[in-house]
A and B are shown apart, each in its own frame.
Chain A
């Protein structure tokens, strides 16, 4: 009997090794831990994917790195936690992660009833369809009676259902609880169509399809999918920090501050630049950060435009045009409230 009792020791060790997270004063916990625990996807090119050496790359990843740089001072102090679509909200709610930066769409239900807060929009996306070219489908209207592979736990299911009813297409969803299983089914030919956010479709086409030329993405966008980082409710300080780091990156692009010229810009003549970089005013005090928070964030990952180009645009294999993700001044939707 004592032997069996001793066997509990390994369990206790396992418990000790698991991350004990704090839900509540997240900012204090992050500062004390000197590390940000960031929830990302299990592998979506362009947003959050790890290479064979375990380095994480992507838009969502860069946002986390910027927050780490701003709060802790080092963009490398991030613990990456890959999550699938079902676990992501539970992980955030339970305190296992500090923030969720995982191409998550901002919807009313999620904002209001899951105990979470969306901090802002880093990418304006929409849902689309991908089909094999040999099926000769060129528009979503032609998908009548089709079986469509989707992943469960996402807004995709509901949008598909709404669109199917609105257009009277009687589409039949084939639902998988894992991203990998849904891809496997589509590429094996189980469904003629696959649906998810259009940018994810582009990433899938590039990285997951054996022969990208065999598939095409249909032009219709059937929903609005504004993606952004998510934090827990009831933690206003952390909410403010995450929100304003993102806005600082956007404002940096507007003001022309880049990763390369951030140091030189500290001597700029533009008072807005001096304010953002913490030279003339200490904006960080009200956020409970030090004055160089925005400077460090920009130095770590660059401004919003650089982040975009590196991960999704001309500097990546996806080569997606910015489209709605241009700055408001250039005709897009990316807008930051003034940092003053």
Chain B
């Protein structure tokens, strides 16, 4: 047998061996799990999704009827995750870009301030920042009776930020104003302190990383480009917008995508401050139904889909930018 044929056969054997070992390990795992579940009398399957959920979710965008099934509760959790992650992505991009550009500024104080911000927020764990924000929002804000008001329409208190929302009533557009009713606020929209803590924590933390990405991107644009722009008579800001920015953007996109993905995954820490995101709702479901395997795999599946969707979206965005 020729040496090439021997190598091919060896390669085949190694691969078959790898697959066989993995398959064996998986079989053992699955068999153990099935046996353990049977011994403990825990049923399997996703039928629990259609049973009535034993809990309400206090902070949700879509109205859930009383006694709604678990799948609706999980959907609300997913919506809550997106509700905090998407604005966080937008705000992170804005704040991070500002900080990144600040670090490149000619002004020493601005450079130092942005640098200090980045070094400070990057080296403190995100969970700690979330908890600190939550404490600040719930301990230092006034109770609802003494809420800070902006006019009659906006309240800021321990119960969150209440603001008017435009609604259609009787065929006309109206402003639904928040007002005190009983012990709470009804009407208008509310951003709970839990939501605000997660949003602010995510934004301030991720902006520090985003700033570094922006700075690296701008620094990577060759000096020759900036010099050429100067030679052409462009001012600093004109050069920035027309020459440096488009090139830097292309360099920033891939790491920025990674950071958006990280942000979405980091939003799962919302469970620690009581914000009912997907992980939090799935955790409650797990505790109430005992279906550990189903719930954990559901969480992982949903996050994988979110990651995939974000990657694809950013990839499409990158291609569109390249066409310009």
Given A114-B290, A115-B39, A142-B182: A173 in contact with B58 (beta carbons within 8 A): yes
Inter-subunit contact B40/A233 (CB<8 Å) = yes
A270 interfacial contact with B, CB 8 Å = no
Task: State A23–B40 Cα separation when bound (angstroms).
Answer: 10
Task: State A330–B67 Cα separation when bound (angstroms).
Answer: 40
The number of chain A residues with a CB under 8 A from chain B is: 46
B212 interfacial contact with A, CB 8 Å = no
Inter-subunit contact A181/B272 (CB<8 Å) = yes
Q: Inside 8 A of A161's CB, which chain B residues have their CB? A: 54-56
Which residue of chain A has the shortest Cβ distance to B183 in the bound complex?
A146
Inter-subunit contact A234/B40 (CB<8 Å) = yes
A149 to chain B, nearest CB (A): 8
Inter-subunit contact B183/A192 (CB<8 Å) = yes
Inter-subunit contact A115/B40 (CB<8 Å) = yes
Inter-subunit contact B274/A175 (CB<8 Å) = yes
B138 interfacial contact with A, CB 8 Å = yes
Q: Inside 8 A of A109's CB, which chain B residues have their CB? A: 288-289
B280 interfacial contact with A, CB 8 Å = yes
Task: State A89–B288 Cα separation when bound (angstroms).
Answer: 10
A164 interfacial contact with B, CB 8 Å = yes
Task: State A68–B55 Cα separation when bound (angstroms).
Answer: 37
Inter-subunit contact A175/B182 (CB<8 Å) = no
Which residue of chain B has the shortest Cβ distance to A143 in the bound complex?
B183
B101 to chain A, nearest CB (A): 38
B51 to chain A, nearest CB (A): 10
Inter-subunit contact B39/A158 (CB<8 Å) = no
Query: A86, A137, A157: which contacts B55 (Cβ < 8 A)?
Result: A157
Query: B37, B66, B280: which contacts A175 (Cβ < 8 A)?
Result: B280
A339 interfacial contact with B, CB 8 Å = no
Inter-subunit contact B183/A115 (CB<8 Å) = no
Q: Give a binary string over B117-159; 1 marks a CB under 8 Å from any A CB, 0 the rest.
A: 0000000000000000001001100010000000000000011
Task: State A185–B139 Cα separation when bound (angstroms).
Answer: 8
A150 to chain B, nearest CB (A): 9
Q: Inside 8 A of A86's CB, which chain B residues have their CB? A: 283, 287
12 more A-B residue pairs beyond the given contacts A109-B289, A172-B184, A189-B158, with a C-beta to C-beta distance below 8 A: A89-B290, A114-B42, A114-B290, A153-B283, A160-B56, A173-B58, A174-B59, A175-B58, A175-B280, A177-B272, A185-B138, A185-B274
Query: What are some 13 contacts across the A-B interface (CB < 8 A)?
Result: A86-B287, A90-B292, A93-B42, A115-B41, A115-B42, A146-B183, A147-B183, A153-B287, A174-B192, A181-B274, A185-B274, A188-B135, A189-B143
